[in-house]
Amino acid sequence: MSYAVHKTKSDRIVDAIIYFVLTVFGFLTLFPLYYVFVMSITPYSEVLRNGGFVLLPSKVTLEAFRSIFSSPVVPQALKVTVFVTIVGTFLNLLVTTLLAYPLSKKFLPGRNVILLAIVFTMLFSGGLIPLYLVVRATGLMDTVWALIIPGLVSTFNLLIMKTYFENLPSEVEDAAKVDGCGEFQTLGRIVLPLSAPIMATLGLFYAVGHWNAYFQGIMYLNDKQLYPIQVVLRNMIQTPNISQELAISNPMMLQTLPPETIKMATVVVAILPVLIIYPFLQRYFVRGMLLGSIKG
């Protein structure tokens, strides 16, 4: 049986204000994405005619995308970024799970000491220079592993996953052990299938972090063949001559396109995969964060 909710005039005014504010914030959030996309498909002549600011192009061109993909720089950077994102996210989730699962057991010897040491790293870090020295001493410089290994485990994500495991019903694990399952079998056959929300949530966190990472590439990489897409985009923004940065075999192609259009097209290529994947993981996102939230 449903009951109709009667709102007073003041309630409707408040709702209208809330919807208006949300609409404004939504517009402010989406407009930069829209402007970047529009500029990436606008012909050069129209950009010049409108003083460099176009909201709705009369013609559409994909020359900017053709130009950046005719260069070996952007496709190679995408290959590196895709590899780092996929392999890095897998290793992140693997190591985080193998750490969080035993730490979720209160009977683990030395559990409190280990947790204290882990939380300590959230408050105090060794600093940027010691981290650089460690990466150089371990031989990770100028390798793609320098973009993965130093940030293999996030303390925040580790604590969230640990709390999620603690909230799982212990009776399910006890039943698995009665049936003869060991710890790894219990983790693989029982715990992980029940942990899809938190895995999707933390996997999204790790994947977006890898995809958007550029500081590690600047610090640890000197070989341009190993640059991820974000480093290439940063260099394009800072380099006055786009043709030198892209090293396109046909520089005449760039003369028909403004540098800003090529930059915007590269931005679209850099953000589009995340925008495509996120809606498929959104249903797990809120649930995983709520179930894995740290409780006092």
Whether residue 55 lies inside any domain: the answer is no
Whether residue 17 lies inside any domain: the answer is no
Domain that holds residue 270: 65-296
pLDDT score at 294:
47
Whether residue 132 lies inside any domain: the answer is yes
If we measure between CA atoms, which residue out of 63, 25, 31 comes closest to residue 44? 63
Whether residue 7 lies inside any domain: the answer is no
Whether residue 56 lies inside any domain: the answer is no
pLDDT score at 188:
78
Encoding tokens for residue 228?
Answer: 């991820």
pLDDT score at 94:
93
Instruction: Specify the number of domains making up the chain.
Output: 1
If we measure between CA atoms, which residue out of 141, 127, 133, 138 comes closest to residue 218? 141
pLDDT score at 252:
52
The pTM for the full model equals 0.80
The answer to whether 131 touches 137, Cβ cutoff 8 Å, is no
pLDDT score at 296:
42
CATH number at residue 117: 1.10.3720.10
**Helix or strand (DSSP H, E) at 272:** helix 259-291
pLDDT score at 22:
92
Q: How far apart are CA 184 and CA 169, in angstroms?
A: 17
Q: Which of helix, strand or coil describes residue 63?
A: helix
Instruction: Tell the burial category of 296 from Cβ atoms under 10 Å away from its Cβ (0-12, 13-18, 19+).
Output: exposed
Whether residue 195 lies inside any domain: the answer is yes
Q: How far apart are CA 144 and CA 226, in angstroms?
A: 7
Q: How far apart are CA 159 and CA 108, in angstroms?
A: 16
Give mean pLDDT in consecutive 10-residue pieces for the chain, a chain of 296 residues.
64 88 90 84 73 74 81 87 93 92 86 87 81 89 90 88 84 76 78 84 88 88 88 78 56 62 83 80 62 49
Q: How far apart are CA 151 and CA 168, in angstroms?
A: 27
Cβ-proximal residues to 37 (8 Å cutoff; 6+ apart), any chain: 264, 268
Whether residue 145 lies inside any domain: the answer is yes
Encoding tokens for residue 252?
Answer: 């005449």
pLDDT score at 87:
94
Tell me the angle at which helices 63-70 and 73-103 cross, rounded to the nearest 10 degrees: 80
Whether residue 13 lies inside any domain: the answer is no
Using alpha carbons only, what angle is made at residue 91 by residues 117 and 214, rounded to the nearest 5 degrees?
90
Q: How far apart are CA 265 and CA 41, in angstroms?
A: 8
